[in-house]
Structure 1
Amino acid sequence: MSQTPIIRIRNLVQLFDVLPEDERIITDVLRQIVLENLPSYCKEKISYNVPYFYGNKGICIIWPATIPRGGIKKGVLFGLWWGKNLKDEDNYLTHGTNKQIFYKIYHDVDEIDEKAIVKLLKEAVKVDAIQVRKTGRPEVRKTFKR
C-alpha cells in the first residue's frame, strides 16, 4: 500500500508549482475574486497547504484536489467557513457532510460564477462580524504603531 507523500507548502509559488494547469488557473481566478471582494482587514495565509482567507475568524478556503485531505478527487473546492449561517437563496453551495463549511467544486474555469461568489462573500463577511460579537473579540484587527 503506497502512502501519499507529505506535502509542505509554505507560499503561493510552491502551491502553484505542484498544481496541474487546470487547477492552477481555477485556483488563481478564485483567489483574485476573493482578494478583490474582501475588506482590507481580511488576510490570506497558507493553511493545510491551501489558500485560507480570514477576517476575525475563517471566511473561505480554496482547496485544489491535488492537495491531500481536501475530500475531493478532481477540481477545486471553494468553501465558505460559516456556510451553514449563509442564506444562499440561489442554492449555489453544496451542503455536504460537513455541518459548517458549505462549498462549490469547480472542474473548469468557465463554471465560475463571479456574481454568485461575490454575493456569498459579502454575506460571509457580515457573518464573520456577527460571530465575533458572540465571542466578544474585537471586530477589526488593528495594528498599533510604537
Structure 2
Amino acid sequence: MTISDIKLMRLHADILFVHDTAGRLVYVNEPVDPEDYPAPIIYVGRTQDGTVYRCRWDVPEVICFQVQDTVNRFGTLNMTEHCGLVPELKDVVRSHAEVDNVWAGLAHRFPDAVEVFSCNVFVDRSNSELLGGGFDDI
C-alpha cells in the first residue's frame, strides 16, 4: 500500500503537534512541560499533492483564512519557483503577532523498495580514514 505525499504531510503535522478539538495547534509534541514548547503561530507543509496548514489555538480566524488564501494562491506546482510564499506568510502573521523565528526544512520520503547493499563496511578506529575526516572530536 502506498500512501500519498499529502496524507504523509498530514500525519507529520498530527505527530509534530498536540491539537485541540478544533484541529488547532496547542504545543509541540515533546515529553516535556508544554509551556516550554508552545506551538508555532502557523505550520505549513507543502507537497506536490497539496499543502497542509495549521494555525495555533489563539490565532484569530481571519488570520487563518489569510494564511489559507496565501497558501492557495501559491499552489503546489513548481514549488521551487515560489520562494515568495514565506515572506508573504510572515506579513500575514505580523498583522497578529511578532515573527521571532522561522523554521524550514525538508521532509524526505523513501521509495517502498530500498536497494540493500551487501558490501557494508564496519568502521572503527583502525579504518577511520574511510570516513574522509571531520570526525576528530568524536
TM-score > 0.5 by shorter chain = no
- Decide which structure has the larger Cα Rg and report it: 2
If the length of structure 2 is used for normalisation, what is the TM-score?
0.29
If the length of structure 1 is used for normalisation, what is the TM-score?
0.28
User: Counting strand residues as a fraction of each chain, which structure ranks higher?
Assistant: 1
- Structure with the larger RCO, 1 or 2 (CA within 8 Å, 6+ apart): 1
